[in-house]
Amino acid sequence: MNESTETKLDTEQVWEALRSIPDPEFGINIVDLGLIYSVDCNGADVSVVMTLTTPTCPSGSWIHEGTKEALKALPGIGEVNVAMVFDPAWSTAMLSQEARQQLGWKGES
């Protein structure tokens, strides 16, 4: 996860907005689920690179659209670019500690 120090405040705001989006199957937000690969803020413009748990995730379209909508609702936001990638593929190693606790998984970090 790339968080630039010079745009830290704006980046944190973006991460906070992204945390408001839950995955419909697990009810875990997409940040803790490890679906956000990077957030890059350049002034008022935001670029997000994200993935899905599987390329054939049936709710993928809504999560992708919802991510864009949540960012567009940020006060003072400029251009929003949300790229969906599947390389590298998502894996359970990307789950946050909070997500692991929610799932009841005591696996290695």
d(CA 79, CA 47): 8
| C-alpha 16, offset from chain centre | 10
Instruction: Dig out the tokens for 2 from the structure.
Output: 């790339």
Distance from C-alpha of 14 to C-alpha of 107, rounded to nearest angstrom? 29
Interacting residue with other proteins among 9, 97, 108, 109 (CB under 8 A): 9
Site string for other proteins, 15-44 (x = CB under 8 A): -xx-xxxxxxxxx---------xx------
Task: Draw the binding track, 85-104, toward other proteins (x: CB under 8 A; -: no contact).
Answer: xxxx---x--x----x--xx
The CA-based angle 18-19-23, given to 5 degrees, is: 95
Residues that bind other proteins (CB under 8 A): 9-10, 13, 16-17, 19-27, 37-38, 49, 53-56, 58-71, 73-76, 83-88, 92, 95, 100, 103-105, 107
